[in-house]
Amino acid sequence: MEVPFFRPSITEAEIEEVIACLRSGWLTTGPRVRQFETAFAQAVGTQYAVAVNSCTAALHLAVEALGLRPGQVVLVPTYTFAATAEVVRYLGAIPLLVDCDPLTFNLDLNDAAAKLRHLREGKLPIDRRAEVVGIIPVHVAGLMLDMDEVDDFARQYGLWVVEDGAHAFPAAYWSIRLGRWRRAGQQTAAVTCFSFYANKTITTGEGGMAVTDNPNLANRIRQMSLHGLSQDAWGRYNGNGPWDYQILAPGYKYNLTDLAAAIGIHQLPRAEELRKRRESLAYRYREELAGLEAVELPPTAPDRVHAWHLFIIRINPGKSPLNRNELIAALRRSGVGCSVHWRPLHLHPYYRDKLGWQPEHLPVATAVWERVLSLPLYPDMTPEEQDFVISRLRSLLATQSSLRAAA
């Protein structure tokens, strides 16, 4: 048997909508994008949603709309994908890398406060006089940070918040302050950005969304998503808007197509159903792997609705006969797709050699990443496929343990 790391869950409804879009003669940004935006804003509980071609684009547009300038500093978790920090560099600003919580891998606000102190003390590879203006938290694997705490931190230090929700739809946390569940993007940041990449919790193949309750930010994001033009193509060509347009700013080419939105229109109503399937698979992993001393399992919490974008285990170096790299190689040889999320930013050549970050600046993430391994997890995963993954993992570890004991 071969079990892929991921397989998208696509139904006939998505396929038929794509075919209808092709037959309509309108393939780029148009009525299906607008329909998707409206439905997504309602699903999140926000005023405005702007569809773009990736979460990276959404993050870039968000920090641009907030006026990020060269030389300014933004707090960014080191334990994240490239996009979270690179959008800061796009505008000539500087990411101040923050260590992660050792259990959840989410940004550690205590370390963020320490990093701000260290910056002023001249202990970091950033000019101590630089102005710190924002923070971009990430909900790793779909387990949300407490955004009330992030908000308190941001207010204390006078920062704006852009929420990287690439893993976090539909995710939520219990807000003690509000006394209710609060979804990612539901007034949790100035702008929240979501991903619809092929392996995300819902997909449009490639795609993203920026949501906000601020009309000025929404208007700027929409304008800059398509060359800074005053009118989009749908408005100019459908007969309902003026044919003329003006360039208001040097924007970008980040618009989502109707072909992509055609998939999203039918993925969106399935979001909670798909999340529950992931959750069921995740709980079964937890039950079946609970007895493996060589493996530490991802956390859960009663005050969180986990999106379960990823199922990240940690290899216990004191009890596992195989290190993480050896286990990945063995699993792949046996037909199990797996991955690593992620090498922390400070351990990449650009951040190390160009920006001066060293392992000792971020010790938790430095240690964590050598142990992490993401197992296959997708809504249409069959019991037989999951049994195979569990069996191969248990067998490899048990066999190697026996061999080590015999030696």
b/e 117-138 (16+ beta carbons within 10 angstroms → b): ebbeeeebbbeeeeebbbbbbb
Copy the structure tokens of residue 41. 């804003």
Please, are residues 194 and 185 in contact by the beta-carbon 8 Å criterion?
yes
Residue 253 annotated as catalytic: no
Q: What is the C-alpha to C-alpha distance for residues 325 and 329, in angstroms, rounded to an integer?
A: 6
Tokens of 261: 């939105």
Task: Give the chain's length.
Answer: 407
Q: Which of 115, 123, 200, 319 is catalytic?
A: 200
Q: Are 93 and 130 in contact (CB under 8 A)?
A: no
Angle formed by the axes of helices 31-44 and 258-267, nearest 10°: 40
CA dist., res. 94 & res. 74, Å (int):
6
Q: Starting at the earlier edge strand, list the strands of the sheet with 208-212.
A: 48-52, 208-212, 191-195, 160-164, 132-135, 73-77, 94-98
The catalytic residues are 200
